[in-house]
């Protein structure tokens, strides 16, 4: 039996009913699947049984050797492509060349980074991941919740976000110290198509990145006022005028605004900044 490596966040899912529930929550179409961290290949096996074409990315070379042996037929037939590499290095370029669904029992130390990468990647149509419960709740939180965050605004702006169910530590070997949750993020078609975006909100990958920078600034000090946090990006008068027009007090905190408020304010600031840039050039 292989010894789990803490540095790679290895907790192997052993509970059969949990594995089946995860696979059942996958979209039922023919799109290829990217699996991050196949580990001993338990979910990989179930994906192949469901006739999915899988590309799996595993950092641990010892596990990779086991996977190569156990899945030699699927690798030879092309149903499974195994990439023995840090997925984040791989993702500096395209993760997969065409549209795909992402599935993973994520190593907790890079879970948020990977979800953000997948949100940005317009080839990624949906994300089905096991993460620490707190992380799942952050992505799925709503305006007014104390943990309403830039992550929730970002994800909900382009996708349907749901926490499907919790998974207790005893479902894993070795058991983690925390409860986990299954998080599903299904992107709206407009964003998957990238440049053909119909919503007009993020008409390019650059404007999605600009929205991320804007949200980081808005939540830079989550308990301070939005007015204070956003002043490096826009003059106070512009922000005050926006709050007044939306019937919001100047004391409003970042977690108290709605997602629509953030879209409106972002467009207002972007439009103003673009006008200034055009004048200067
Ligand atoms: N999918 C398996 C399961 O459900 O039992 C294993 C899940 S375990 C929580 C996380 C897996 O991700 C491990 O196999 C680990 O080696 C792998 N991993 C950790 N960091 C990685 C990285 N940067 N790139 C690719 N795989 C990684």
CA atoms within 13 A on the CB side of 156: 21
CA nearest to 38, candidates 25, 99, 74: 74
* Span from the CA of 36 to the centroid of ligand 1 (angstroms): 6
46, 38 contact by CB (below 8 A): no
Class of domain 205-280: mainly alpha
Q: Can you tell me the mean pLDDT for 123-149? A: 95
* Span from the CA of 37 to the centroid of ligand 1 (angstroms): 3
| pLDDT at position 202 | 73
- Listed in order, strand segments (DSSP E) in the chain are 12-13, 33-36, 54-57, 80-83, 100-105, 124-132, 159-167, 172-173, 180-187
- Closest C-alpha residue for ligand 1 atom 23: 86
Q: Which two tokens stand for residue 109?
A: 């130390």
- Closest C-alpha residue for ligand 1 atom 21: 59
Lining ligand 1 with CB less than 6 A are: 8-13, 36-39, 42-43, 57-60, 63, 86-88, 105, 107, 110
Q: At residue 199, does pLDDT exceed 60? A: no
Show Cβ contacts of residue 186 under 8 Å, excluding neighbours closer than 6 positions.
27, 125, 126, 159, 160
In angstroms, the CA 239 to CA 252 distance is 12
6-187 is classed CATH 3.40.50.150: yes
Q: At residue 240, does pLDDT exceed 50? A: yes
Q: Can you tell me the mean pLDDT for 249-253? A: 97
* Span from the CA of 89 to the centroid of ligand 1 (angstroms): 14
* Span from the CA of 40 to the centroid of ligand 1 (angstroms): 9
Q: At residue 261, does pLDDT exceed 90? A: yes
Q: Can you tell me the mean pLDDT for 97-105? A: 97
Which atom, in ligand 1's list, is nearest to the CA of 60? Answer: 16
* Span from the CA of 10 to the centroid of ligand 1 (angstroms): 6
* Span from the CA of 131 to the centroid of ligand 1 (angstroms): 12
Q: At residue 19, does pLDDT exceed 50? A: yes
Q: Which of 81-90, 188-197, 212-221, 231-240 has the lowest mean pLDDT?
A: 188-197
Q: Which two tokens stand for residue 70?
A: 């156990």
Q: Which of 33-37, 106-110, 207-211 has the lowest mean pLDDT?
A: 207-211
In angstroms, the CA 126 to CA 27 distance is 8
* Span from the CA of 12 to the centroid of ligand 1 (angstroms): 9
- Closest C-alpha residue for ligand 1 atom 2: 39
Confidence of residue 205 (pLDDT cuts 50, 70, 90): confident
| pLDDT at position 105 | 97
| pLDDT at position 277 | 72
Q: Can you tell me the mean pLDDT for 16-24? A: 97
Confidence of residue 165 (pLDDT cuts 50, 70, 90): very high
Please state the domain extents for the chain: 6-187, 205-280
User: Ligand 1 pocket: which of 7, 71, 107, 111 to mutate (most atoms <8 Å of CB)?
Assistant: 107
Q: Can you tell me the mean pLDDT for 46-60? A: 97
């Amino acid at each position: 039996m292989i010894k789990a490596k803490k540095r790679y966040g290895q907790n192997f899912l052993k509970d059969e009913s949990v594995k089946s529930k995860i696979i059942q929550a996958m979209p039922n179409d023919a799109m290829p699947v990217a699996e991050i961290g196949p580990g001993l290949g338990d979910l990989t096996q179930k994906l192949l049984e469901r006739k999915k074409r899988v590309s799996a990315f595993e950092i641990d070379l010892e596990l990779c050797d086991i996977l190569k042996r156990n899945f030699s037929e699927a690798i030879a037939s092309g149903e499974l492509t195994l990439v023995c590499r840090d997925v984040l290095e791989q993702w500096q370029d395209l993760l997969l060349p065409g549209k795909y669904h992402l599935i993973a029992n994520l190593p907790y130390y890079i879970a948020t980074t990977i979800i953000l990468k997948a949100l940005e990647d317009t080839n990624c149509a949906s994300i089905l991941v096991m993460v620490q419960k707190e992380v799942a709740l952050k992505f799925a939180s709503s305006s007014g919740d104390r943990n309403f965050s830039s992550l929730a605004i970002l994800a909900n702006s382009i996708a349907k976000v749901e926490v499907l169910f919790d998974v207790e530590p005893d479902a894993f070997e070795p058991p983690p110290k925390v409860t986990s949750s299954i998080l599903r993020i299904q992107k709206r078609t407009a964003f998957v198509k990238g440049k053909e975006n119909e919503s007009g909100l993020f008409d390019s990958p650059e404007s999605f990145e600009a929205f991320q920078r804007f949200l980081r600034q808005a939540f830079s000090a989550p308990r301070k006022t939005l007015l204070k946090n956003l002043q490096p990006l826009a003059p106070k008068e512009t922000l005050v005028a926006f709050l007044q027009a939306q019937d919001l007090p100047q004391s409003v905190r970042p977690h108290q605004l709605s997602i629509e408020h953030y879209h409106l304010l972002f467009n207002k600031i972007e439009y103003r900044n673009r006008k200034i840039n055009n004048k200067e050039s």
